[in-house]
Amino acid sequence: MPSHDVMPDMDLFQPLQIEDALALADRLGDSAWVLGGGQDTYGWLKDRAKTAEAMIDLNGIESLRGVRETADGIEIGALTTLTDLADNALIKERYGLLSSAASRVASPQIRNAGTLGGNVSQDVRCWYYRRGLDCYRAGGNLCYADTPEGMNREHAIFGASRCVAVNPSDTGPALVALEASMVINSVDGQRIVQAEDYFVGPANDIENTTALRTGEILTSVRIPNTWANATFYFEKVADRNVWDFALVSMAVAMKMNGATIADSRFVAGAVECKPRRLNDVENAVRGKSRDETTAASIGTLASNGARVLAHNQYKVPMIDNLVKRAIVAG
C-alpha cells in the first residue's frame, strides 16, 4: 500500500519559457498538473485525493512574475507571490484593496511561496471532497455536506447546486471588485476573461471552479484604472487571525463624489462557490452618504435569497453586518 507521507511518482517538467509550458500542457492534457506556488497542490497529491502522471512546474518562467504598469492600469504575473502583492508600492498606492486581501492569506510563510494565480485557481476545501469521498464534485451522486448530519459550518449560503462548498480565495473577491481580467493562454492563442466570469459555480460546472480548461494556463491578471485610488474596504472574518480560510469576507471599492457614494462594487467571499457580487447593495447605496443612516437602510439586502444549512446560519447576519461596516468605516 503506498504511503501518504511521500509524493507519488510522476514525471517532472520545468520549462523556462511560457511557450514550452503551453506546448507541454497541450501535449500532456489531463494527465498533467500545472504547478505554481504549490501550497494547494502538494496536499492533494500527498493525500492521493487527486493524481497526476506529470507535473509542469512553472517556477522557472520569470516572465510570469512581477507587477508591470500599463497604459490603462497594471498587469500582474500569475506567479507573483502574495507577499509581493501585499508589499508592492504601486498596488498599495492605487489598488490597496488587493494589497489588503493578499496580506490576509494564510500565514507569512505561505504568502512567501503562494502565488496570485494559485490563490484564484485553487479548488474548494470541503473535507468530504478532499478526503476522496465520491461526492457530486468527485463524480458521485451525493453532497455529504448538504445533509442534516453534514459538517457544513464553513459552506455556502448562496448558489448551491449539488455542491455547497465555497470558493476559498481571499484575492478573488478583491479582483472582482476591481474589475480585473484574467489572461489565459494556450497553444491556440490567448483569451481574456473578466474576473467575475473566471470563477464558476456548480450549476455551470460541477468539476471545475474556474474557466480554465485542459491545456490552458493563467499567465497574468490585468487591473484597469477604473477603480484606481478609489475608497477601499476589506475585511476577512476567520476563526483565527492567521492561517485560516475566511468564514465570510467583504471586498468593497467605492467612488466618492464628495461625501456621496457615486458608484461601488461590493463583493462577498466564502458565501458561494465564487465571489458574490452584491448588486442590490450597490444599487441601494448609489447617491447615498457613508453614514449610519445609509448602513441601516441596507438592512438585509446582502443576505437576501440565502439558503442556510444546518450549521452555517451565522453567515446571514455576518454578511449583512460586513456590508454595514464597509459603509461606515473611515
The 10s digit of each residue's pLDDT in 99-136 is 999 999 999 999 999 999 999 999 999 999 988 899 99
d(CA 247, CA 91): 26
pLDDT on residue 4? 58
CB 273 within 8 A of CB 166: yes
- Grid cell locating 38: 504549490
pLDDT on residue 100? 98
- Please state the φ and ψ torsions of residue 101, each to the nearest 5 degrees: -65, -45
pLDDT on residue 39? 80
d(CA 142, CA 145): 9
CA distances (Å), origin 301, targets 39, 213, 232, 319, 324: 36, 35, 20, 10, 11
pLDDT on residue 1? 45
SS3 readout for 78-127: CCCEHHHHHHCHHHHHHCHHHHHHHHCCCCHHHHHHCEHHHHHHCCCCCH
DSSP 163: B
Q: Which residues of the chain have pLDDT under 70?
A: 1-5, 48, 330
- Residue at grid coordinates 502583492: 85
pLDDT on residue 44? 76
pLDDT on residue 330? 66
Give the predicted TM-score (pTM) of the model: 0.96
pLDDT on residue 85? 98
Buried b (16+ CB within 10 A) or exposed e, 10-20: eeebebeebee
pLDDT on residue 10? 92
- SS3 state at 22: helix
Instruction: Give, in degrees to the nearest 5, the angle at Cα 140 between 135 and 143.
Output: 35
Please say whether the structural domain 1-330 has been given the CATH code 3.30.465.10. yes
